[in-house]
Amino acid sequence: MALVFSIQLVLLILVQCVRSQQDLISKFQKLRYLKQTYDVQDLTSEDFVAHISPQDGLKVADKISSLPGQPKMPKFDQYSGYVTVDSDHGRALFYYFVQSTNESSQTPLVLWLNGGPGCSSLGGGAMMELGPFRVNKDGKTLSANKYSWNKVANMLFLESPAGVGFSYSNKSSDYKTGDTQTAKDSYTFLINWFERFPEYKTRDFYITGESYAGHYIPQLAQLILKSNENESNAAINLKGIAIGNAYIDDETQSKGSHDFWWYRSIVSDEIHDGIVKHCDFSWQSSVSETCNAYINEENKLVSNIFSYDIYAPLCLNGTSSKTTGLDGFDPCSEDYIFSYLNIPQVQNALHANLTGLPGPWQDCNDDIFYKWTDQPFTMLPTIQRLMGSGIRFWIYSGDVDSSVPVTTTKYAIKKLNTTIKSPWRPWNLDGEVGGYVVEYEKLTFVTVRGAGHFVPSYQPDRALALFSSFLAGKPPVAM
Amino acid sequence: MALVFSIQLVLLILVQCVRSQQDLISKFQKLRYLKQTYDVQDLTSEDFVAHISPQDGLKVADKISSLPGQPKMPKFDQYSGYVTVDSDHGRALFYYFVQSTNESSQTPLVLWLNGGPGCSSLGGGAMMELGPFRVNKDGKTLSANKYSWNKVANMLFLESPAGVGFSYSNKSSDYKTGDTQTAKDSYTFLINWFERFPEYKTRDFYITGESYAGHYIPQLAQLILKSNENESNAAINLKGIAIGNAYIDDETQSKGSHDFWWYRSIVSDEIHDGIVKHCDFSWQSSVSETCNAYINEENKLVSNIFSYDIYAPLCLNGTSSKTTGLDGFDPCSEDYIFSYLNIPQVQNALHANLTGLPGPWQDCNDDIFYKWTDQPFTMLPTIQRLMGSGIRFWIYSGDVDSSVPVTTTKYAIKKLNTTIKSPWRPWNLDGEVGGYVVEYEKLTFVTVRGAGHFVPSYQPDRALALFSSFLAGKPPVAM
């Protein structure tokens, strides 16, 4: 299982490391032989009572007066700061919260989580994908994102677990963490955040996110539902979850990735035939030498393109490539965000890095990534339980991502063996096919045409349409 | 066979008709039941002697002084006009010829052919794809195409057969035509064009083109090679052919198209499974009712996207969509070209439409398309003979085209059962993967990443790199 895990994990590796992906692949090839075990705690058996600290006055202190270089735009309030999740360890998670521009007192509250494991929802989700601002090429100023999700919801971005972005712990051993601790800390964060922002306590609450958040989100949802049963806890009004290009099942992730590369005519028939014939990606299997040899050949073929969007231009030498992608998205955005979030005035405005963190803000933390301690081989049993819990469950997929490609999600859903309620059909945005949608019993699956891994970066208008549909609880409109 | 032919033919239908594609699909569904036969003459048995007419003074008359609205750019000579291919019938083919900007007296001569059948190499190839000019949004002015193929070759664009574009016949029965007559007329055109431009008689000569030119080009090449054996004919110095997204084999075209739509997550598993189970696309088979039902369902799903580039925006209401495609190519280009080529001053400058044609210039002629009389079910035997003839043979494929998708070409090449000389590898342009290349014995296959059916429109820089490699007889450079 560990063997399979590590070769997949490389596909989820942080934006920050994209340009050295080739090195990482060879590193992970070695990791495959370590046969680590990944024990995971069953969160359904948790009777978790989160420690609640007093939050008086902290909301006011967290209010952002203005971000350096921000443009004039419709008014909405922004907050950011730390929530302590373990005062003994001095472990605190950083959040960024933007109220909706559209009747924020009525619209739902939505938590957004990026994956990794080890990547920031501030640098990814908020600044590169779906937040109100995009960082300009100068790395100093911001422009408005026309398709920000705070047009329809109050958006809360969490840097999680400790060690990611501005989040930290005073106990370095906390940086060796995994799924279970991440879920518990995220839950503790939420409960305390609701104390700080009590007006949201009864608001409709949703969780969205992508990639390795395919683990985080179902686990957190499960913990919330379980904890809601405990009368000592304040109930969280969880209405639904949506996970995008989601890492949810190691076996289908492996098989689906290899198939995707071949389906897209990136890998030769000969190599793909070899993988199909010689590789077994199931739970207990170990990967054979022959299988490995084919995968090595495959890695060479796929290592030169941007795995998160196979048609996108690369960011070469820190400036955008001349070649245009599907979307006009600037492939060097991560560099601009890195610059921006390391400006001291920006950190001051965000109330971030108050303790003098040892290094610069990074989009993803390699250390967290490599030392990840626990994860289940599959999230499908958790997903099945959530599908029976009454909360809304959507899975979406940008269809030109090769890191957690649409094939892997399709294969995983097939394993759920659920019934089709409304068959696969195109959905419409402005007269164009936005993607395809199929409704299963208690699960909706939506694709986004021409979107890579970071769906709201690559197809911002389609992503906002999809998100609005999710909140409305109705599949996107038909063609 | 006819059954299979007609459902495929719809996929090749002219740019001009894209916005009414849904209607055409249902029209073609009906055509499938007509069970037309498509007899085809074996051009290898032809002992064809083309009639040569005197061409004195015609070259000078064909010289274009300047095209209305053309920009300032590096100097090259342009010519256009008619070559009579049957004086009894008054059948004349229109050509547009642009000399190379790079030592035109040394660089090769390349004939470009669009497909259809029934589409124009002037409106498609020259004005929309690889010629020196692109028509601006105003439909009146031109801008320079930075990646024009006349940077490396003297490019000859032929509107063929009679009935296409400005080409015509005084005998309306000539508009019911097919593969054999098209090959003979194109050959007659060439022989006479060489009389008009005798300096090119001994020049290295190549033929390139796309789509249904997957029929035209191998057939014309075959006729040239056969005719070169006849001492009564002047030999044409044919060095090689390159065909892009080429319609070459009806069986693999059918199977490959259905697979492509499914591979790209455009069609559901259920429909694709039904097609795989119930459809037989081989030579003599008829399509079952059950197969048809699945194909009808599939047609509904695929009818809303631009089949020539599945990620491109549509041209909605005659103006470009706001959504950007892979490439920044304007999806309404065909409209601008239509406007431009119907301006009387433009036609005068081109020496076109001297006889007062009954309708406007059209990119593709429906009448020619629907009344096509003969075509072989497969071009593979012809291709096999050409591969043994000593001329260079390249096939290329823009990998996001669904009309003649990369899968169809891969399946067709598999049927050739040729040996791999150098395995599938990525090729490089400006640090990016331009596509993939595999060298077989006597055949080179190259994909162009992120390109639709009209490769030079969608990925102009990659197309020029590929074309330059083809002329140099070397596969594009490795990553």
The helix, strand and coil proportions of chain A, stated in percent and rounded to the nearest 5, come to 40, 20, 45
pLDDT digits (tens, 9 = 90+) for A390-401: 999 999 999 999
CA A400/CA A453 separation, integer angstroms: 8
State the average pLDDT for chain B.
88
CATH number of the domain within which B108 lies: 3.40.50.1820
CB pairs below 8 Å between A and B: how many? Answer: 117
| Total residue count of chain A as it appears in this document | 479
Q: What is the mean pLDDT of residues B84-88?
A: 96
Same domain membership, residue B276 and residue B226: no
Count the alpha carbons within 13 Å of B68 in the hemisphere toward its beta carbon.
17
> Does the annotation count B80 as an active-site position?
no
Domain boundary among B271, B301, B330: B330
Are the beta carbons of B450 and A304 separated by less than 8 Å?
A: no
Strands A91-98 and A78-86: antiparallel
Q: What is the count of structural domains for chain B? A: 2
The distance in angstroms from the start CA to the end CA of chain B is 42
Q: Is residue B389 part of a domain?
A: yes
Rg for chain A, CA atoms, rounded? 21
Is the Cβ pair B328, A324 closer than 8 Å?
Answer: yes
Q: What digits encode the pLDDT tens for the residues B327-367?
A: 568 889 999 999 999 999 999 999 999 999 999 999 999 99
Contacts of A256 (CB under 8 A, 6+ apart): A405, A407, A408, A409, A410, A411, A412
Q: Do B179 and B256 belong together in one domain?
A: no
Same domain, B98 and B204: yes
Q: Which residues of B touch A425 (CB under 8 A)?
A: 301
Is residue B21 a part of any domain in this protein? yes
Distance from CA of B340 to the nearest CA of A (A): 27
Q: How confident is the model at residue A319 (pLDDT cuts 50, 70, 90)?
A: low
| Structural domain range at position B299 | 2-39+250-330
Cβ–Cβ gap A316/B479 under 8 Å = no
Q: What digits encode the pLDDT tens for the residues A22-34?
A: 333 233 333 433 4
How near does any CA of chain B get to the CA of A399, in Å? Answer: 7
Q: Which residue, B330, B362, B394, sits at the end of a domain?
A: B330
Last residue of a domain, one of B297, B330, B363: B330
Q: Give me A440's structure tokens.
A: 């299963």
Residues of A in contact with B268 (CB under 8 A): 423-424, 436, 438
Among candidate residues B167, B169, B211, B254, the one labeled active-site is B211
Which of B324, B399, B425 has its CB closest to that of A328? B324
Distance from CA of B266 to the nearest CA of A (A): 7
Min mean pLDDT across A234-238, B28-32, B245-249 is at B28-32
Min Cα distance A424 → chain B (Å) is: 6
B351 is annotated as an active-site residue: no
Could A267 and B424 be called an inter-chain contact, meaning their C-beta atoms sit closer than 8 Å?
A: yes
The answer to whether residues B303 and B409 belong to one domain is no
Instruction: Please indicate, yes or no, if residue B280 is contained in any of the structural domains.
Output: yes
Are A326 and B314 in contact (CB < 8 Å)? no
- For residue B414, the chain A residues in CB contact (below 8 A) are 269
Chain A partners within 8 Å of B424 (Cβ): 267-271, 301
**Is there a contact between B425 and A461 if contact means CB atoms under 8 Å apart?**
no
pLDDT at residue number B327: 52
pLDDT (tens digit per residue) in B263-317: 999 999 999 999 999 998 887 667 789 999 999 999 988 888 999 999 988 888 7
Give the strand pairing for B238-244 and B142-144.
unpaired
Note the pLDDT tens digit of each residue in A346-356.
999 999 999 99
Nearest CA in chain B to A263: B263
Local confidence band at A160 (pLDDT 50, 70, 90 cut-offs): very high
Residue A379 has pLDDT above 50, yes or no: yes
Q: How far is B325 from chain A (nearest CA, A)?
A: 5
Distance CA B107, CA B150 (A): 9
In a domain, B366, yes or no: no
What percent of chain B stands above pLDDT 70? 88
Selecting from B311, B321, B322 the residue whose C-beta is nearest the C-beta of A449 gives B311
> Quick check: B22 pLDDT over 70?
no
Task: Report residue B197: phi and psi, to 5°.
Answer: -120, 70
Q: What is the pLDDT of residues A86-130, one digit of tens each?
A: 999 999 999 999 999 988 788 999 999 999 999 999 999 999 999
B211 is catalytic: yes
**Contact call for B424 and A271, based on CB within 8 A:** yes
Q: Note whether residue B371 is domain-resident.
A: no
For residues B152 and B191, membership in a common domain is answered with yes
Residue B104 lies in a domain: yes
ipTM of this complex: 0.89
Confidence class for position B1, pLDDT limits 50, 70, 90: very low
Task: Give how far A394 is from chain B: nearest CA, Å.
Answer: 18
Residue B75: pLDDT band by 50, 70, 90 thresholds? confident
pLDDT band at B28, cuts 50/70/90? very low
Per-residue confidence (pLDDT) for residue A473, from 0 to 100: 97
Pull the structure tokens for residue A185: 């800390």
The 3-class SS string of A49-92 reads: CCCCCCCCCHHHHHECCCCCCCCCCCCCCEEEEEEEEECCCCEE
Exposed/middle/buried for residue A333 (C-beta within 10 Å: 0-12, 13-18, 19+): buried
Q: Which pLDDT band holds residue B320 (cuts at 50, 70, 90)?
A: low
Give yes or no: residues B156 and B289 share one domain. no
pLDDT exceeds cutoff 90 at A287: no
Nearest CA in chain B to A422: B268
pLDDT at B202 over 70: yes
Beta strand B91-98 with B154-159 is: antiparallel
pLDDT at residue A73 greater than cutoff 80: no
Question: To probe the interface with A, which of B18, B265, B268, B316 has the most A CB atoms within 10 Å?
Answer: B265
Which residue of chain A has the CA closest to B429? Answer: A323
Of B271, B426, B449, nearest to A311 by CB-CB distance is B449
Both B275 and B200 in one domain: the answer is no
**Other CB atoms closer than 10 Å to residue A278's CB: what's the count?**
16
Residue in A267, A397, A423 nearest the CB of B270: A423
Nearest to A304 by CA among A86, A1, A22, A12: A22
pLDDT tens, position by position, B95-147: 999 999 988 788 999 999 999 999 999 999 999 999 999 999 999 999 999 99
Do B230 and B98 lie in one domain? The reply is yes
| Residue B27 and residue B69 in one domain | no
Residues of A in contact with B322 (CB under 8 A): 430
Q: Which of B401, B402, B403, B469 is catalytic?
A: B401
Q: Token pair for residue B154?
A: 């003297």
Confidence of residue A4 (pLDDT cuts 50, 70, 90): very low
The answer to whether the CB atoms of A311 and B311 lie below 8 A apart is yes
- B323 contact residues in A (CB cutoff 8 A): 430, 432, 461
Residues of A in contact with B426 (CB under 8 A): 301, 304-305
Residue B27 has pLDDT above 90, yes or no: no
Residue B254 lies in a domain: yes
B392 and B465 both lie in a single domain: yes
Q: Is A356 left (phi over 0), alpha (psi -120 to 50) or beta?
A: left
**Residue of A215, A327, A453, A469 marked active site:** A453
Chain B residue numbers with beta carbons less than 8 Å from the beta carbon of A294 are none
Interface contact flag, B424 A268, Cβ < 8 Å: yes
Rounded to 5 degrees, what angle do the CA atoms A445, B402, A258 make?
55
Q: Which of B304, B323, B426 is the closest to A304 by Cβ?
A: B426
Residues of A in contact with B447 (CB under 8 A): 265
Residues facing residue B241 across a β-bridge: B207, B393
Whether residue B242 sits in one domain with residue B145: yes
Spell out a b/e string for A441-469, using b for 16 or more CB atoms within 10 Å of the CB, else e: ebbbbbbbbbbbbbbbbbbbbbbbbbbeb
B268 with B298, same domain: the answer is: yes
Q: Are A410 and B265 an interchain contact pair (Cβ–Cβ within 8 Å)?
A: yes
**Residue B335 belongs to some domain of the structure:** no
- Residue from A326, A411, A457 to probe the interface with B (highest B Cβ count within 10 Å): A326
